[in-house]
């Protein structure tokens, strides 16, 4: 019955230290990825790693390969193959080869191995070898050379975060800030009722109101930007516990420089690898900055509909017979939604 079906459902053998595992034949991931895929079926559809993280994994693996060549740790032919395969990961051609989710080992080991296995098998394909054979490229000995999950995953965390902050969040806030800034001048002559404690206060201009929002967004931008130096410091080079065991003395520094070149961001080697592995205060700081960035616009959004309600005269009008019940008369207007 199934003989005429195409490859769908076909499996191949992969092997790791624990033994053999069957993996889908049409995928490049290996035994360790497959084990995690089976053992952590938690939030599978919602919590897969997104493009930003997969791209960061590719950048890291390409740059570690180049650093290994620069420091004489891997033969040039292997580095070329790894860098080429990693480029496919960077460019998004292999996103479907990353099936794992957030809820896995707390060090991110399985996602590090997912990258090692996929890049190794892709490199093997490029070399004309047999996928799963680990020849000529081995996921641990070659792709993960001089590394440990304990220093690669925090490095990936920082690469993804810096790129998203710098390329996505900061520009978005700037656009909103500039849009509002243009209104400050445009509405500088429009005098309106001020409002304190949700009640009428002395007047001000609409331009002045909006200039306050612009000032708050400037604070928010500063709050986000000031967290960048912390996440530009990379753990790579620390390996398992921060000592740098099995890595070249200059591996962290050379890899960080490579990553800076690859991304155009100001990445450096973290000055203390023990700190870089054992805590993530820089990430907590970014999250705090982001929450701060939201607090201001959140209040502005809440305020907009409130501008339209509540004054003694309006209260009387809204309460008049035949009008909709409640304090607010929104007839003919959209109901405001919280954003």
| Residues 187 to 206 in contact with other proteins, rule: CB under 8 A | 187, 189-194, 200-206
User: In the bound complex, what is the minimum distance in angstroms from residue 54's beta carbon to other proteins?
Assistant: 12
Asked if 184 touches other proteins (CB under 8 A), the answer is no
Distance between CA atoms of 122 and 11, rounded to whole angstroms? 17
Residue 133 or 278 with smaller CB distance to other proteins:
278
Q: What is the pattern of x (binds other proteins, CB under 8 A) and - over residues 140-159?
A: ----------x--xx-xx--
User: In the bound complex, what is the minimum distance in angstroms from residue 192's beta carbon to other proteins?
Assistant: 5
Residue 57 or 81 with smaller CB distance to other proteins:
57
| Residues 204 to 263 in contact with other proteins, rule: CB under 8 A | 204-206, 208, 241-242
Residue 157 or 328 with smaller CB distance to other proteins:
157
Tokens at 277, concatenated? 């592995």
Other beta carbons within 10 Å of 24: 16
> 73, 87, 107, 125: which one contacts other proteins (CB under 8 A)?
107
Query: Considering CB under 8 A, how many residues would be counted as binding other proteins?
Result: 74
Residue 11 or 192 with smaller CB distance to other proteins:
192
Residue 17 contacts by C-beta under 8 Å, 6 or more apart in sequence? none
Asked if 179 touches other proteins (CB under 8 A), the answer is yes
User: In the bound complex, what is the minimum distance in angstroms from residue 240's beta carbon to other proteins?
Assistant: 8
Strand partners, 20: 15
User: In the bound complex, what is the minimum distance in angstroms from residue 53's beta carbon to other proteins?
Assistant: 7
| Residues 273 to 332 in contact with other proteins, rule: CB under 8 A | 274, 277-281, 283-284, 286-288, 290-291, 293-295, 297-298, 301, 311-314, 316
Residue 266 or 279 with smaller CB distance to other proteins:
279
Stretch that binds other proteins, among 18-26, 100-108, 139-147, 324-332 (CB under 8 A): 100-108
User: In the bound complex, what is the minimum distance in angstroms from residue 233's beta carbon to other proteins?
Assistant: 15
> 30, 108, 223, 252: which one contacts other proteins (CB under 8 A)?
108
Stretch that binds other proteins, among 115-123, 132-140, 160-168, 244-252 (CB under 8 A): 160-168
Tokens at 292, concatenated? 């701060």
> 169, 228, 236, 328: which one contacts other proteins (CB under 8 A)?
169
Asked if 42 touches other proteins (CB under 8 A), the answer is no
User: In the bound complex, what is the minimum distance in angstroms from residue 221's beta carbon to other proteins?
Assistant: 11
Q: Are 137 and 81 within 8 A, CB to CB? A: yes
Asked if 50 touches other proteins (CB under 8 A), the answer is yes
Stretch that binds other proteins, among 75-83, 129-137, 181-189, 247-255 (CB under 8 A): 181-189
Distance between CA atoms of 217 and 293, rounded to whole angstroms? 7
- 3-state SS track over the chain: CCCCCCCCCCEEEEEECCEEEEEECCCCCCHHHHHHHHHCCCCCCCCECCHHHHHHHHHHHHHHHHHHHHCCCCCHHHHHHHHHHHHHHHCCCCHHHCCCECCCCCCCHHHHHHHHHHHHHHHHHHCCCCCCCCCCCCHHHHHCCCCCHHHHHHHHHHHHHHHHHHHHHHHHHHHHHHHHHHHHHHCCCCEEEEEECCEEEEEEEHHHHHHHHHHHHHHHHHHHHCCHHHHCEECCCCCCCCCCCCCCCCHHHHHHHHHHHHHCCCCEECCCHHHHHHCCHHHHHHHHHHHHHHHHHHHHHHHHHHHCCCCHHHHHHHCCCCCCCCCCCCCCCCCCCCC
Asked if 130 touches other proteins (CB under 8 A), the answer is no
């Amino acid at each position: 019955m199934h003989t005429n079906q195409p490859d769908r459902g076909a499996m191949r053998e992969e092997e790791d230290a624990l033994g053999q595992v069957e993996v889908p034949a049409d995928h490049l991931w290996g035994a360790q990825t497959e084990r995690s895929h089976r053992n952590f079926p938690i939030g599978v559809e919602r919590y897969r790693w997104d493009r930003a993280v997969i791209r960061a994994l590719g950048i890291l693996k390409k740059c570690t390969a180049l650093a290994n060549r620069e420091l004489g740790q891997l033969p040039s032919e292997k580095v070329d193959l790894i860098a080429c395969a990693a480029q496919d990961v960077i460019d998004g051609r292999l996103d479907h080869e990353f099936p794992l989710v957030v809820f896995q080992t707390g060090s991110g080991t399985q996602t590090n191995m997912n990258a090692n296995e996929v890049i190794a098998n892709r490199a093997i394909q490029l070399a004309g070898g047999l996928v799963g054979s680990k020849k000529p490229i081995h996921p641990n000995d070659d792709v993960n050379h001089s590394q440990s999950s304990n220093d690669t995953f925090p490095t990936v965390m920082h690469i993804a975060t810096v790129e998203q902050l710098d390329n996505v969040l900061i520009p978005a806030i700037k656009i909103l800030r500039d849009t509002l800034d243009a209104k400050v001048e445009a509405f500088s002559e429009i005098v309106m009722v001020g409002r304190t404690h949700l009640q009428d206060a002395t007047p001000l201009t609409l331009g002045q109101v909006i200039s306050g929002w612009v000032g708050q967004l400037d604070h928010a931008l500063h709050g986000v930007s000031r967290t960048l130096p912390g996440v530009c410091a990379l753990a790579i080079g620390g390996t398992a516990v921060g000592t740098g065991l099995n890595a070249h003395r200059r591996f962290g520094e050379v890899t960080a420089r490579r990553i800076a070149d690859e991304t155009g961001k100001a990445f450096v080697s973290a000055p203390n690898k023990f700190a870089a592995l054992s805590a993530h205060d820089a990430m907590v700081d970014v999250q705090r900055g982001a929450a701060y960035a939201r607090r201001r616009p959140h209040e502005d959004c809440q305020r907009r509909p409130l501008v339209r309600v509540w004054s003694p005269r309006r209260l009387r009008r809204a309460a008049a017979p035949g009008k909709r019940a409640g304090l607010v008369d929104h007839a003919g207007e959209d109901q405001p939604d919280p954003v």
